[in-house]
Amino acid sequence: MKTKFFANTTGEFIKAKRSFALWLTILAALFIPAINVVILLERPDMLLVKFEQTPWLTFFRFNWKNVAAVILPMYIILVTNLIVQIEFRNNTWKQVYASPRSFADIFFSKLVVIQMLVPVYILCFDGFVILAGLLVHSLNPSYRLMASSIDWGSLLLISCRVYLGCLAVSVIQYWLSLRFRNFVIALGLGLGLWITGIVLMDWDKIIYYPYVYSAFMFFIDFDKEPQQLVVLTISSVTALVLSTGIAYYDIKYRPERP
Amino acid sequence: MEQAAIETDHLDYSFQKGDRILNDINLRMPQGSVYGFLGPNGAGKTTTLRLLLGLLRSENPGIRIFGNQMPGNRIDILRRTGSLIEQPSLYLHLTGRENLEVFRRAYECPATRVGEVLRITGLSDAAHKKTKAYSLGMKQRLAIAIALLHDPELLIMDEPTNGLDPNGIIEIRELIRDLNRHQGKTVLVSSHLLAEVEKLATHVGIIHQGKLLFQGTLAELQSFQYRHSFLEIEVDNVVRTEQILSGRFSVFIRGESKVHVGHSKPADAALINHMLVGGGVGVSRLCVMGNDLERLFLDIISA
């Protein structure tokens, strides 16, 4: 059973080959570091002061703030749609469902591909951030990035927390992408849900809204509010489990296979 | 009684309440047969095939494949079944071989099988081309190669020759015939073209507006067709013709020199001719009318 699931998951990776999903992963990861290199080199007068104390941590936060709030949710919405649309576009769902695979195998093997792409995106992004830091320092040594060692611990911590925060969104988007043949619907719903989260940021029940978890995981100062980390971690895991369960149940018991 | 590969028991299906798409379908498809599932567009062929493959959910549809209930034994049934539903389902950004590799994992068959099915379907030379560069005929053959990957006992094909040019139609027909005769596959092939089914099938089911109007062997269909045909005879004396034949056959006078005579078997034509000549009637022309299957098909579905 495990072997078959593994084999089918490798089959799902073959399907993603030569698709735009891989390019999107690289380009989305490169986008913010590239822009920030230009900003840092253009405005040292404003930014040098901020980088004096902890240059690498400041540089990581400078990059991650845009990614945690905007780019990562956008990337998840787009990449999930792209992966699922491979089946709709090629009219292959019926062949997939007519093969001797359990519904769980079909559902989870594709979810694994998405869950692999998101960490790959984060790894690529972290890699580009490091390279961007080194490039900035080499072009303007006043930033003193190479004067101190890279703060790997902080980078890993930010990455893991934001990834945990975005897991439920990736499953909800996967569900929406499976539910609607027309990719515009899943895309529009995803964007709408994300914008709603931004609008409702100050709502006291916002902790029940998964689309803001990745932003909260980055922006909340857990040194000052450590209890918030526990609440957010529990909320993220609960939302992940619930969304996975509901999505799987709904897809398994749909009256018609696409 | 031979074992049925597919049996349905009063199969009904509605997409929406009150809008019945299939109505009391009792299919019986013998093992080793090529079953031509015939019907005009929108008759319910694809819905039936989708139910057989578990692509439509129905709590207790009364479907048995190899004696096992569907959907209860879905995975066991699909392990023994290859399918091609509507147009070919292929990943157009992948090569032919990569497409087969994806499904080889699902069917748990050895890597050597990919080369074998490419050879069977004549696609070995195009295996490394992206399938978006394939012609429709090649795509159809690759879809059949996917269906054959796990060497299934049963093949379910929905309009496999749809959109193909005459050469492509002949190729696919030969391939299906070969799979049935030399590899022992049972094949269910749907079509809206009677001429196509007639050339291929051993058994025929005719569906129209969700109802199965005829089911039997091709010979039974042809005999059914015979019962619906008549002899058109040109004679020099229609009154005398009627006198001679009316005791044994139904005779309808159709003009001064033409009569239509009902008959049930080919030998009747010789007997009728013998009776007329023996009775002193000059017969100048005798031919069977209304025996083309296309006409019969239209008669059945418009009955």
pLDDT for B299 equals 67
Is the pLDDT at B185 greater than 60, yes or no?
Answer: yes
Residues of chain A with pLDDT under 50: none
- Interface mutation target, options A90, A96, A99, chain B, most CBs of B under 10 Å: A99
**Do the chains contact at A94 and B85, CB–CB below 8 Å?**
yes
Each domain of chain B, given as residue ranges in start order, spans: 4-216, 228-302
Q: Which of A15, A100, A253 sits opposite B91 (nearest CB)?
A: A15
**Do the chains contact at B54 and A95, CB–CB below 8 Å?**
no
pLDDT for B43 equals 87
Q: Which of A8, A17, A93 sits opposite B106 (nearest CB)?
A: A8
Is the pLDDT at B302 greater than 70, yes or no?
Answer: no
Structurally, at CATH architecture level, domain B228-302 sits in 2-Layer Sandwich (3.30)
Is the pLDDT at B30 greater than 80, yes or no?
Answer: yes
Span B216-267, pLDDT tens digits: 988 888 777 666 678 889 999 989 998 898 888 888 888 888 998 887 777 8
**Do the chains contact at A101 and B106, CB–CB below 8 Å?**
yes
Mean pLDDT of B47-76: 88
Task: For residue B187, give how far its alpha carbon lies from the nearest alpha carbon of chain A (Å).
Answer: 16
- Per DSSP bridges, beta strands B154-158 and B186-191 are parallel
pLDDT for A187 equals 94
pLDDT for A156 equals 95
Using CA atoms, how far apart are residues B55 and B3, in angstroms rounded to an integer? 25
DSSP of chain B, one letter per residue?
-PPEEEEESSEEEEEETTEEEEEEE--EEETT-EEEEE--TTSSHHHHHHHHTT-B--SS--EEETTEEETTTHHHHHHTEEEE-SS----TTSBHHHHHHHHHHHHT--THHHHHHHHHTT-GGGTTSBGGGS-HHHHHHHHHHHHHTT--SEEEEESTTTT--HHHHHHHHHHHHHHHHTT--EEEEEES-HHHHHHH-SEEEEEETTEEEEEEEHHHHHHHHHHT-EEEEEES-HHHHHHHHTTTS-EEE-SSSEEEEE-SSTHHHHHHHHHHHHTTPPEEEEEEES--HHHHHHHHHH-
Each domain of chain A, given as residue ranges in start order, spans: 2-252
Q: Which of B74, B75, B102 sits opposite A14 (nearest CB)?
A: B102
Is the pLDDT at B190 greater than 70, yes or no?
Answer: yes
What residues in B contact A15, CB-CB < 8 Å? 91, 94, 102
Span A152-192, pLDDT tens digits: 999 999 999 999 999 999 999 999 999 999 999 999 999 99
pTM for the full predicted model: 0.85
Is the pLDDT at B29 greater than 70, yes or no?
Answer: yes
Q: Which of A10, A17, A97 sits opposite B55 (nearest CB)?
A: A97
Task: For residue B123, give how far its alpha carbon lies from the nearest alpha carbon of chain A (Å).
Answer: 20
Mean pLDDT of B12-21: 84
- Specify the CATH number of the domain B4-216: 3.40.50.300
Mean pLDDT of B32-37: 94
B115 pLDDT tier (thresholds 50, 70, 90): very high
Q: What rounded mean pLDDT belongs to chain B?
A: 87
Span B89-114, pLDDT tens digits: 899 999 999 999 999 999 999 999 99
- Structure token pair of residue B61: 């549809």
